[in-house]
Amino acid sequence: MNQATTPGPDRPNVVVLFPDQLRALSLPLYGEQQIQTPNIDRLASEGLVLDNAISNCPVCTPARAMLVTGRYPQTTGHLINTTRTRHSELSIGDAFGHAGYKTAWVGKWHLHTGTWPAIDRMPQHPDWVPEGRDRLGFDYWRAYNQHMVYFDGFVHKDDWNYERWDGYETNGLLNYAFEFMDGAGDDPFLLFLSPHPPHYTPFQFAPEDCYA
φ and ψ of 30, to 5 deg: -115, 25
Half-sphere exposure of 174 toward its Cβ, with a 13 Å CA cutoff? 10
| Angstrom distance (rounded) from CA 168 to CA 54 | 29
Q: Residue 150: beta bridge partners?
A: none
Class of residue 26 by CB neighbours under 10 A (exposed 0-12, middle 13-18, buried 19+): middle
Considering 110, 112, 156, 196, which one is annotated as catalytic? 110
Question: Is-catalytic flag, 210?
Answer: no
| Angstrom distance (rounded) from CA 160 to CA 157 | 7
Quote the DSSP letter at residue 124.
T
Answer whether the bond into residue 198 is a cis peptide, omega within 30°: yes
Q: Residue 107: beta bridge partners?
A: 143, 194
Q: Are 130 and 121 in contact (CB under 8 A)?
A: yes
Angle at alpha carbon of residue 72, lines to 68 and 76, rounded to 5°: 70
Active site residues: 60, 110
